Amino acid sequence: MKKVQFIDGPNLNMLGKREPEIYGSMSLAEIHENVRAHIKQNELNFDVNFFQSNSEGEIVDCIQKSKDTCAGLIINGGGLSHTSVAILDALLSIEIPKIEIHLSNLFRREDFRHHSYISKGVHGVICGFGPNSYVLAVEGMVKLI
């Protein structure tokens, strides 16, 4: 069975507690459970692995490892999306399908959030649909793999 790696960046472990007016009230674990339920309900033929880190280096390591073990990668880089050339380089170094996601609409936020370095290293970007961004990414990944 094919596996899709989800990577969640800094502060996403605080979802449900952190700025619910922007990010919603669901925890990251609840969002991940919604993804699993969607996959099961729609009988999609792949498994998912979830990884969250507040460390840029650990995220780079996870991206690099996924090239040999996964059919696709979905990443919510959090704040590192707007600053990390290292994560961009890691994404560019692997040739599996990749999707970037964000809970909020970056273009309705502060100007510095309007640019994501990691977008250049992925096949598509989904933002602004709250927790549904994760489910929409699953549907996009089905088409890519």
C-alpha distances in angstroms, 139 versus 44, 46, 126, 133?
9, 12, 11, 10
Q: Which two tokens stand for residue 42?
A: 């729609």
**Which pLDDT does position 22 carry in this prediction?**
72
Model pTM greater than 0.85?
yes
**What CATH number does the domain containing 113 carry?**
3.40.50.9100
Range of the domain at 53: 2-144
Active site residues: 23, 102
CA–CA distance, 138 with 90 (Å, rounded to integer):
21
Helix or strand run (H / E) with residue 108: none
pLDDT tens string, the chain, 145 residues long: the values are 799 999 999 999 988 887 767 767 789 999 999 999 999 999 998 999 999 999 999 999 999 999 999 999 999 999 999 889 999 999 999 999 999 999 988 777 778 777 899 999 999 999 999 999 999 999 999 999 9
Number of domains in the chain: 1
